[in-house]
Amino acid sequence: MSGTSLDGVDGVLVQFDDGAGAAGRVLADASVVMPAPLRDALLALQQPGNDELHRAAQAGAALADLYATVVQRLLTAATLTPAEVAAIGAHGQTVRHMPPGHPRLRPDEAPYTLQLLAPARLAEATSITVVADFRSRDIAAGGQGAPLVPAFHRAAFGRAGEALAVVNIGGIANLTAMRADGGVRGLDTGPGNVLLDGWCERHTGARYDADGAWSRTGRVLPALLAELLADPYFHRTGARSTGRDHFHLGWLDAALARHGPARPADVQATLVALTAETIARAVLGADWGGEAPRRVLVCGGGAHNGALLDALRARLPSITVETTASAGWPPQWVEAAAFAWLAREALCGRFGNVPDVTGARGPRLLGAIYPVG
């Protein structure tokens, strides 16, 4: 998995039981940092530019090679051969996400989502079947194509009779709301780390604000926070998803131009408040069927930002906020494991989306399969 934050590639090797829906057991994990040239190439492809097709093809191939490095590290750590692995679930790198309702889509234009990768190259490099392109079938069925992790969250964390929220804070944050009656809802809440990381790198040179330390030196600017929260995305109802093509530093710069000058550390503190506020609103506003959750489990890179977790706890004082490590899943494992799980579901011919989450017309089998050999 390489997410919106573009900080690296995370991989897990998961062993599944035969039972449908089982979350699996992690045998090994590995991560590699995203090389700066590839990261810059992928960032450039977030916006229109010259020779996009060639640049996209080259970036997809380079990403496949990086995925192959992670796969080899996993095999070495677990002392397994490629023949012992059923498949690689490879998400690819989202460079455009324009689902139904996206403000940049004209009424006569088709919605789409694009995750760059070269799955055939990955299959050749690893001698393992690859399952990729998980989102496009849900889009074709009228859905948002995201979030896709709620089905896995239900398998990994769901308990009969318990309402539970799981929040993945990657570049974009998403919520899975598991009701006590077994129903599942979910949505992208808005920016997670994407603005925090970008603003931090612009002003400090660091790719991210470790533990939120820099943000703690600033103060929240209420007028700027209100300006950011006025974005129409936060007021949409029903299924919704978003990405870096909507929430990026240009979006923030436009809000700052309207607000006026501000200390960089104060902006960082305000961005922490924005992420916490939009997550909290989604948790409190979800359809819980009458029984609110007592716990929120947090995964993704944002789970390591102490300032962000503190802000979320302050906004949800009656709910316990803790990381997924408390449920036996280190935060950095969860999203990669979700796409391993979705690959397993595809190989078994089982549906992977949750229509109540994405808004698709019905359940769909997700992923294109590239068999080895």
The neighbouring-strand residues paired with 184 are 178
Q: Give the total residue count for the chain.
A: 373
Q: Is 3 annotated as a binding residue?
A: yes
User: Rounded to an integer, what distance in angstroms lies between the CA atom of residue 314 and that of residue 319?
Assistant: 10
The reply, when asked if residue 7 is annotated as ligand binding, is: yes
Query: Does 8 appear as a known binding residue?
Result: yes
81 annotated among ligand-binding-site residues: no
Question: Facing residues of 186 across strands?
Answer: 176
Q: Which of 114, 80, 96 is nearest to 44 (CA)?
A: 96
Query: Does 215 appear as a known binding residue?
Result: no
CA-closest candidate to residue 44, choices 95, 94, 105: 95
176 annotated as a binding-site residue: no
Report the C-alpha gap between 87 and 310 in whole angstroms.
Answer: 39
- Give the closest residue to 198 by CA, choosing from 208, 189, 187, 188: 208
5 is in an annotated binding site: yes
Best CA proximity match to 43, nearest among 230, 202, 168: 202
Q: From its phi and psi, is residue 212 left (phi > 0), alpha (psi between -120 and 50) or beta?
A: left
Strand partners, 370: 130
State yes or no: 4 annotated in a binding site.
yes
Q: How far is CA 300 from CA 3, 15, 36, 365, in A?
A: 9, 21, 21, 25
Residue 364 tokens, joined: 């769909």
List the binding residues for ATP: 3-10
List the binding residues: 3-10
